Structure 1
């Protein structure tokens, strides 16, 4: 006997929220999109493209009025805690995009409410853990294929084409800083691959490629050096200025070998030979690169609801990633080495 579909709503229809909504409608059979909440100018798109008639600009009214089982929160980061708290208190399961939030006191309150609802599923959107390449590499590391980890390096650099959009966003909202906005996934992967926690960080940042961000209190490029609790080292690089497209990679150096995921941002196996030389098309954004992983994480969320089991990615993972990112930002702001207190 088939389980009835999980009735779900999406809050936020920006680039990622709209992609989640389309995945629910077209690619995750166990979920049924019954409502969305978004800005007024996005509601017609939702009705036209998602086949959903229940559209709202007030998430509380949506949760109160609709017969929902769960909600996907893809709103601006600062709103994640209040929306999660309201949804959980209304009896819903919650999938919340990373980061958990920006303000630690709000996140602490959010976590307290999550822990007070142990029979509801809360899942955070660290989708790279669902990517086949990262899973394969993690399995190799776990099997000891490269020996004890000595060093990790994570890159996350957005395409130059997104700079105008980010500048508008930064002028209107708090991104949380370069490391929270750009390296939260890399931070999670460093912890996931190494099995260790960072204890100290020294970070630097600049706006050489985008001086216009200085007046907004933002950085274009940031680099953080992390000391782990076992003496290993990790480097994070976040940026917004890759001319060729979206550059994301993870390198893990072991005592007996190395592995590298995504060294080249290659879209497919096509090579073009023309007047520009020998060209390999590149991924242009994170959705294109992690398309399948986004589907798998929503399928995992649905399966966890059906089975009544908490996800392998815990709220503690989200909290630690947030604290590490904020420590990196503090190091940039103060120019000092910062101890990381998890």
Structure 2
């Protein structure tokens, strides 16, 4: 088993897909990336030449006909996930997919049914924060009772202001699902994971302040949601796309006997600059930098699950329930009303 290599094909070679491909090709033990797929021919050729990948495709269905493959890694735009997951499972492959399961709750629920039809296959969803060392350590501390019963979670998810133009272009060209589904979904997943509770009610507000174009798209530049979870537990979620100091991901869990905080200062490293502006620490510039280790760790876990014939702890149900809560936040934001989360 130690020498066994899982043969993987990846679809999607954009910014995030390229990072996944590089990990699969160079850094994940017992993995062999043998096929890449993208509608952008230049991306396929570049990756093939750079890492010696034997198979390149512009057509996803054609890649699924390659019987050398054992697993499919999906890093394509969100609108393709539902169909690509279902096709890969039906074709007999193990599947890893980036979030979300689909752009609509109905699609996520269909993916769950497709996964249930193939219990012999490993399916894993890319909630990478669960594989970040700090977030995983916080989970262990909560489960061991170090802060007593967790009763409140507060999450900040703030993207760099310097990325506003590129995101607006993305939002115009691709339906992202909006602020709460596209950005806050990771925090919504963390809340369920840490609190071990399901959402019951949500109230969400938001607006477009620096860039009114978000309002024109029916979206928010900055938003907040308050969620009542089962057991009267509380969730407070802030998401924004206009963070002046960089990429700021912060989580606080308050318990009956203590509090945990993760990422209060989004520092890039341990270097501090002392100059005329004071003592300054540089912040991380984006999600690929902040979660570099967790992207690698989740890919390693996917491959290990295949080799060890076991299922990952993050599953399709986590994707469905986080999507359900994300849509409830979206509905509350759009209507200005308190929304009951349907289970």
TM-score strictly above 0.5: yes
Contact 2:158 2:243 in 1 (8 A): yes
| Structure 1: segments with no counterpart, 5+ residues | none
Q: Residues 275-294 of structure 1: matches in 2 within 5 Å? A: 275-294=276-295
Residue 20 of structure 1 is matched in structure 2 by: 20
Contact 2:156 2:250 in 1 (8 A): yes
Q: Deviations over 1:122-175 (max 9, x none)?
A: 000111111111111111111221122221101111111211211111111110
Residue 272 of structure 1 is matched in structure 2 by: 273
Counterpart CA distance in 1 for 2:246 and 2:87 is: 38
Q: Deviations over 1:222-267 (max 9, x none)?
A: 1000011111211011111111110001101112211100001001
Q: CA offset at residue 104 of structure 1?
A: 2.2
Secondary structure (helix, strand or coil) at the match of 1:65 reads coil
Contact 1:170 1:218 in 2 (8 A): no
Q: Residues 109-258 of structure 1: matches in 2 within 5 Å? A: 109-258=110-259
Residue 88 of structure 2 is matched in structure 1 by: 87
Residue 7 of structure 1 is matched in structure 2 by: 7
Secondary structure (helix, strand or coil) at the match of 1:332 reads helix
**CA 329–26 in structure 1, closer or farther in 2 if over 3 Å, else same:** same
Moved over 3 A (4+): none
Residue 75 of structure 2 is matched in structure 1 by: 74
Once structures 1 and 2 are overlaid, which stretch shifts more, 276-285 or 193-202?
A: 276-285
Q: CA offset at residue 302 of structure 1?
A: 0.6
Counterpart CA distance in 2 for 1:264 and 1:148 is: 25
Over the residues paired in the alignment, what is the CA RMSD in angstroms? 1.2
Q: CA offset at residue 116 of structure 1?
A: 0.5
- TM score, norm. by length of structure 1: 0.97
Secondary structure (helix, strand or coil) at the match of 2:171 reads helix
Once structures 1 and 2 are overlaid, which stretch shifts more, 309-318 or 330-339?
A: 309-318
Secondary structure (helix, strand or coil) at the match of 2:237 reads strand
| Structure 2: segments with no counterpart, 5+ residues | none
Contact 1:78 1:103 in 2 (8 A): no
Q: CA offset at residue 12 of structure 1?
A: 0.4
Secondary structure (helix, strand or coil) at the match of 1:253 reads strand
Counterpart CA distance in 2 for 1:138 and 1:265 is: 20
Contact 1:21 1:50 in 2 (8 A): no
Contact 1:204 1:331 in 2 (8 A): yes
Q: CA offset at residue 214 of structure 1?
A: 2.0
- Size of the aligned set, in residue pairs, is 342
